[in-house]
Structure 1
Amino acid sequence: MTLLSVSDLTVAYGRVTALDGISLSVRQGEIATVLGANGAGKSTLLRAIVGAEKPVRGALRFDGRDVTADPVHKRLAQGIVLVPEGRRILISLTIEENLLVGAHLRRDAEGIRRDIAAIYERFPNLATRRHMAASCLSGGEQQMLAIGRAMVARPRLMMLDEPSLGLSPLFVSRLFDLIRELNRDGLTILLVEQKTAKALAVAHSATVIELGRVVMAGDPQILQADPRLQEAYLGRSPQPAEDPRPIRQAIS
């Protein structure tokens, strides 16, 4: 079952087109990844899905419903939640206050308490410092807090924008273990990530975008074996006989 459908999505900033006719779908219960270089339009895509960017053309459907015109708070209420690049936690607030920010649309106090308790069980480092300012956390712990805050919103689709950015190798491994764990628990995830090999290793489907356009899409294992993707994003040189053109030119 398709949970999210993006059709011909175009976003422009003045005369600059950031997304140019992007189409993709995310199935219920899968991890879908979007890959691409800096400036390809990945973050713009996530912001458009959550409602923070208004498209000039195209449509978004979530669980069969057209949400193209819905504002951010309505999409959040339906379960579309974004963990933004750079985490953007409120470092002057306590860890628990940050988690409560994720519950600002909820009115079930007991359910919120249960969900926060579950987050503390999952992230014991947060539990031991729940009443301390979030500024005391390391970068990896801040990312766990950002994901915990998103979980309190009870997402049906969690979008992660460059979650490994700035993290140590140890925390990167823990992060991808967590992504797998959340998905096994039934959460649908849309992952934007520059660590291409790791993203492909956890994903069920993958889309590559360049200059705001989809240039490759499909099974992650098949894409990972493509010499053009290897050269552009995995740091591997293709065999001399392979097509030397850039991915977008070679596929269009």
Structure 2
Amino acid sequence: MTAILSVSELTVAYGRVTALHGVSLSAEEGEIVTVLGANGAGKTTLLLAIMGAISAARGAISFRGADISGSRTHQRVAQGLVLVPEGRQVLVSLTVEENLLLGAHLRRDRQAVSDEIAAIYERFPNLAQRRHTAAASLSGGEQQMVAIGRAMLARPRVLMLDEPSLGLSPLFVSKVFDLIEEMNRRGLTIVLVEQNTGKALSVAHSATVLELGKVAVSGNSEALRNDRRLLEAYLGGTAETSDEHLPMRASSQ
């Protein structure tokens, strides 16, 4: 496998505060990479910098073999790099379908877009029933499905998800992770930022742990999941992260 996304020595500062200190990360084609860490570790900053939504002071970002460090956000989206932001950020005054169509605003193949929206409705019948309803009336889990569906309509080569399970019921958390695995089985490369450490490590192939804007640990997710000392040192070692009954993800596809 070859790296479809590579971040090298990325440094990001907000004024005098450095949020990322020389962070490096790579995602191989067809894998799930999870980025873990406590609040304030720099996880969201990393995703925003990869998208070009914030500027990096130093470092380089390569996507599909090309340096995109100087590209604007919309250019990165057009090349297949797509982010589902923390908090979903659906436009609550728009309908479900209008929100989905926003993901396809760079596309001109309208019939294919219609077919893909139909497939989303088939996958999520609740959204189909409320396609002409304002997104404000949806539950948090339903809004997350809209946000992911919107991102998929941009036809990503790499999909980045920022805290997709945040604030969701256990039922919708399971649905979100089932969907992540399904998209990955179809060949999509995924970069997953997630507070639910156990769930994230159970689906990911590799993991990077950030601490105060620096890479603390990086490697095989299964090895990290089984290393209690690392979990306790960097992720709190909660019962959720150390649950022996969480399903294990095979180390190869």
SS state at 1:3 partner? strand
Aligned to 1:126: 127
SS state at 1:229 partner? helix
The letter of the residue matching 1:198 is K
> For 1:1-252, what aligned pairs fall within 5 Å after superposition?
1-231=2-232, 232-233=234-235, 234-235=237-238
Structure 2, unaligned stretches of length 5 or more? 240-253
The letter of the residue matching 1:65 is A
SS state at 1:37 partner? coil
User: Deviation of residue 66 (structure 1)?
Assistant: 0.2
Deviations 1:96-118 (A, max 9, x none): 00001111111111121111111
Alpha-carbon separation, structure 1, partners of 2:220 and 2:114: 39
Deviations 1:70-113 (A, max 9, x none): 00000000010000000000011000000011111111111211
Q: Report the identity percentage.
A: 67
The letter of the residue matching 2:151 is A
The letter of the residue matching 1:153 is A
Alpha-carbon separation, structure 1, partners of 2:28 and 2:231: 26
Alpha-carbon separation, structure 2, partners of 1:228 and 1:175: 28
User: Deviation of residue 153 (structure 1)?
Assistant: 0.5
Deviations 1:31-53 (A, max 9, x none): 10000000000000000111101
SS state at 2:93 partner? coil
Alpha-carbon separation, structure 1, partners of 2:203 and 2:228: 20
Alpha-carbon separation, structure 2, partners of 1:164 and 1:61: 28
The letter of the residue matching 1:52 is A
Deviations 1:1-53 (A, max 9, x none): 11000000000011100010000100000010000000000000000111101
Question: What is the TM-score of this pair, normalised by structure 2?
Answer: 0.91
The letter of the residue matching 2:238 is G
Structure 1, unaligned stretches of length 5 or more? 237-252
Alpha-carbon separation, structure 2, partners of 1:227 and 1:207: 16
SS state at 1:24 partner? strand
SS state at 2:30 partner? coil
Alpha-carbon separation, structure 1, partners of 2:96 and 2:64: 32
The letter of the residue matching 1:144 is M
The letter of the residue matching 1:34 is V
The letter of the residue matching 1:142 is Q
User: Deviation of residue 227 (structure 1)?
Assistant: 2.7
Alpha-carbon separation, structure 2, partners of 1:82 and 1:168: 22
The letter of the residue matching 2:145 is M
Alpha-carbon separation, structure 2, partners of 1:163 and 1:28: 21
- Answer with 79-88 or 225-234: which moved more: 225-234
The letter of the residue matching 2:77 is L
Deviations 1:134-171 (A, max 9, x none): 11211101000000000111111100000000001111
Question: What is the TM-score of this pair, normalised by structure 1?
Answer: 0.92
User: Deviation of residue 230 (structure 1)?
Assistant: 2.5
Alpha-carbon separation, structure 1, partners of 2:19 and 2:42: 6
